[in-house]
C-alpha cells in the first residue's frame, strides 16, 4: 500500500471533511475519537490528529488504491468491448448521483 506524506494526508482529510459537522462525526466514529478532535486536526494538524488522519487514510486507501484490479482481471477482451464501455450503465449513473451527495 502506498505511503503518503503528512501533507498529503492533510489534503485527503480536507477533501473528505470540508467543514461538515456530519462528516466530522462519521470520521470520529471510524477512529474512535470525537468530532471536535477530528475538526481540530483539519484546522491544524497535531500529533493526535496525525494518528487519526493515518487511520482514516488507511480506511479509504483500501477502497481507492488497494482495490485496483490487475489488467488481467479487467472484463474487456477486445477493442470493441472496451469502446462500448464508454457509456455509463444505469447503476453507474446512480453511483455518480450518490457521489455528489457525499460532498
Partner 1 sequence: MNKTDMFTFDKSCSHTSSYFIRPTESFYMIFKKTNGSFNLAPARVMGLSYADYLRFCRDAYGAIIAGKNELYPIAYFSDSKRCKDLVTFLNSRMEELFTKKFLPIGTSFASFIEQKTEEFEKECEDRSTALGIPSVDD
Nearest alpha-carbon partner for 50 in 98, 99, 7, 15 = 7
If the CB atoms of residues 43 and 74 are measured against partner 1, the closer one turns out to be: 74
The CA-CA-CA angle for residues 86, 89, 92, to 5°, reads: 100
Q: Does 78 bind partner 1 (CB under 8 A)?
A: yes
Cell digits of residue 28: 470520529
Q: Does 93 bind partner 1 (CB under 8 A)?
A: yes
Strands (DSSP E) found in the chain:
none
Q: Does 22 bind partner 1 (CB under 8 A)?
A: no
* Number of Cβ within a 10 Å radius of residue 77: 8
Q: Does 31 bind partner 1 (CB under 8 A)?
A: no
SS3 9: helix
Q: Does 90 bind partner 1 (CB under 8 A)?
A: no
> Least Å distance between CB 15 and partner 1?
5
User: Using CB under 8 A as the criterion, which residues of the chain lie in contact with partner 1 when the complex forms?
Assistant: 2, 8, 11-12, 15-16, 60-61, 63-65, 68-69, 71-74, 76-79, 82-83, 85-88, 92-93, 95-100, 103
Amino acid at each position: 500500500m502506498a505511503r503518503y506524506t503528512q501533507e498529503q494526508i492533510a489534503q485527503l482529510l480536507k477533501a473528505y471533511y470540508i467543514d461538515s459537522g456530519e462528516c466530522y462525526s462519521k470520521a470520529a466514529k471510524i477512529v474512535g475519537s470525537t468530532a471536535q478532535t477530528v475538526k481540530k486536526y483539519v484546522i491544524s494538524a497535531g500529533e493526535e490528529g496525525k494518528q487519526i488522519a493515518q487511520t482514516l487514510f488507511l480506511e479509504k486507501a483500501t477502497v481507492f488504491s488497494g482495490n485496483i484490479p490487475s489488467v488481467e482481471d479487467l472484463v474487456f477482451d477486445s477493442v470493441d468491448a472496451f469502446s462500448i464501455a464508454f457509456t455509463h450503465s444505469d447503476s453507474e449513473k446512480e453511483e455518480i448521483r450518490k457521489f455528489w451527495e457525499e460532498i
